[in-house]
Structure 1
Amino acid sequence: GYAYAWGLNDYYHQLGNNSSSNSSVPVRVRDPDSPSDASKGLKATQVSAGQEHSLAVDKDGNAYAWGDNDNGQLGIKGSGRPYPYPMKVLSSAQSTSAAGPWMRAVQITAGDHHSLAIGTDGNTKAWGSNRDGRLGDGTTNTKWAPVPVAFNLQPVISAVRFDTSAGTNLTHVSNSNSVTVTTPAHQPGPVKVSVDYTMGGVGSTLTDKSLTYTYTPLGVLPQAGGEGILLALATGMTGMGGVLASRRHRRETHRLLHASHE
């Protein structure tokens, strides 16, 4: 399971064996925690060689990089110097070089002064040189830490739950990124809304749990606490935009207020 490298290893240290000597035979990539110990090494499930840098993923999904970092292709923010042994890749531009959090990947690829990975969460990240827009984030600026690749995919909702009860009559609104769903019966009070969706309608199902819906006690009105309130859920690039009550619900609220005044 150890990672090995061979070939050019000049100033950029792309072999990861804590030296700058070229090698015509495979040499063991050093252990990130013990880079001076030649008897230890990095155990990996995947490796990738770039022009002057290298990448690897270990059995736990941790992403590592070493070699040239003049364009941030190692995902180590704030330093352009080369690294002669593996370093953990940051998870995002919001991470810090000292404390992480770190990139966890299922696949990783080293390009020409830039790098790409598919995270364990299914999202694609890119970092390094962004000449010609190779990072796919809609810009051409160099990135010293991973940024999301901006796929032009919209979330497609497949199911909605209120606590553990499923909403019914899920209907996609034509020519929009919205659906309508009928609420199940529930006791008055706030409930967590879970929205299942896929990006572009394909791939793994994701779940957004950021929404809350409040069941309002409506006195003696026929629909009070029962099912039948129609909700519209709007989607966006990063998740659900919100939950909006339908006109019918607003009419019921208005009737309640009117009744209380009487």
Structure 2
Amino acid sequence: MGPGLQRPAGSGEEEVSAGGEQSFALSVSGGVFGWGRNDCGQGQLGLGKSQTRTDSPQHLRSLSALPLVQVSAGGEQSFALSVSGGVFGWGRNDCGQLGLGDRTGKNYPIFKIKYVFL
């Protein structure tokens, strides 16, 4: 994974995405692991508000039941795409960037769009 980062047990990386304050790895089994800052009050790690930062990959358990194919880290918001085309977003949303119809930040991944066809 790179210098100083420990690979989560039993995972191999399929994809890594780095954002402004946070980074994510999508494992070959579809699990998402995040690390970086979470102290901007935006919940950009998707781990809730209690954790202000983490220097090692943490499993986003709220997405563990979903087979995911892509993860994307933005400035202070992030998205994940499921095998079935579901889009999940979390983090900063003061300008509506999560596309949820409101301007409230989300500390955990929220189901956004029912199906996306690529």
- Please tell me whether the aligned partners of residues 91 and 104 of structure 1 are also in contact (alpha carbons under 8 angstroms): no
Of 15, 32, 56 in structure 1, the residue corresponding to residue 8 of structure 2 is 32
Give 2:22's aligned residue.
53
- Please tell me whether the aligned partners of residues 38 and 49 of structure 2 are also in contact (alpha carbons under 8 angstroms): no
> Residue 21 of structure 2 aligns to which amino acid in structure 1?
E
TM-score (norm 2): 0.83
Structure 1 residues 149 and 30: CA distance shift in structure 2, 3 A: same
How far off its partner does 1:108 sit?
A: 0.5
Taking CA–CA contacts closer than 8 Å with sequence separation of 6 or more, which of the two structures ends up with the larger relative contact order? 2
Q: Which runs of 5+ in 1 are unaligned?
A: 5-26, 34-40, 93-100, 152-198, 205-262
> Residue 19 of structure 2 aligns to which amino acid in structure 1?
G
In structure 2, what is the Cα distance between the partners aligned to 1:28 and 1:44? 16
- Please tell me whether the aligned partners of residues 126 and 146 of structure 1 are also in contact (alpha carbons under 8 angstroms): yes
CA RMSD between the two structures: 2.5
1:82 has 2:53 as partner: yes
The one-character-per-residue Cα deviations of 1:178-229 (angstroms, maximum 9, x if unpaired) are xxxxxxxxxxxxxxxxxxxxx5xx849xxxxxxxxxxxxxxxxxxxxxxxxx
Give 1:68's aligned residue.
37
Give 1:125's aligned residue.
88
Structure 1 residues 46 and 28: CA distance shift in structure 2, 3 A: farther
> Residue 127 of structure 1 aligns to which amino acid in structure 2?
W
The one-character-per-residue Cα deviations of 1:28-74 (angstroms, maximum 9, x if unpaired) are 531235xxxxxxx9630100111121011011010110001121111
User: What is the number of equivalent residue pairs in this alignment?
Assistant: 116
How far off its partner does 1:148 sit?
A: 1.6
Structure 1 residues 68 and 103: CA distance shift in structure 2, 3 A: farther
Give 1:16's aligned residue.
none
Matches within 5 A, 1:176-191: none
Larger Rg: 1
> Residue 29 of structure 1 aligns to which amino acid in structure 2?
L
Paired residue secondary structure (1:132):
coil
- Please tell me whether the aligned partners of residues 89 and 103 of structure 1 are also in contact (alpha carbons under 8 angstroms): no
Structure 1 residues 121 and 90: CA distance shift in structure 2, 3 A: farther
